[in-house]
């Protein structure tokens, strides 16, 4: 047995993107989106900037969901409730929407 930890086996590819790429996209999104809030408010955002922000926001959304999916797979729940990543993604999105609607209805 080898004592070397194989990180690539811990975080497999997701739609051709490596998990670490999603983490880096998240970090970039957290840093760069607030820095350009002034451009967003004044409306002088170029098409290239819009595409960059779209990729950063998608990375910011997908990386925590993918981490949760990896935790789900490594726990024992996958044996009792087998879900693919797309099923898990839809379940997460609908749960967040439901919690948002519930919180909004509770506050009003």
Chunked mean pLDDT (size 10), the chain, 108 residues:
51 55 70 67 72 74 76 80 81 82 77
pLDDT reported for residue 86: 80
Do residues 60 and 90 touch, judged by C-beta distance below 8 A? no
Per-residue model confidence (pLDDT) at position 1: 47
* Dihedral sign (CA 22, 55, 41, 46): positive
pLDDT computed for residue 92 by the predictor:
83
**Distance of alpha carbon 30 from its chain centroid, rounded?**
12
Among the listed residues 108, 10, 28, the one whose alpha carbon sits nearest the alpha carbon of residue 66: 10
For the chain, domain boundaries:
7-107
The pLDDT of residue 10: 54
According to the model, what pLDDT value does residue 18 have? 60
For residue 11, the model assigns a pLDDT of: 52
């Amino acid at each position: 047995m080898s004592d070397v930890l194989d990180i690539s086996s811990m975080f497999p590819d997701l739609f051709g993107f490596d998990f670490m790429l999603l983490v880096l996209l998240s970090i970039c999104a957290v840093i760069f989106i607030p820095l350009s809030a002034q451009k967003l408010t004044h409306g002088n955002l170029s098409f290239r900037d819009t595409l960059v922000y779209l990729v950063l926001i998608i990375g910011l959304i997908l990386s925590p969901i993918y981490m949760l999916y990896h935790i789900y797979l490594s726990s024992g729940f996958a044996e009792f409730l087998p879900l693919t990543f797309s099923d898990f993604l839809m379940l997460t999105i609908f749960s967040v929407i439901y919690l948002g609607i519930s919180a909004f209805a509770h506050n009003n």
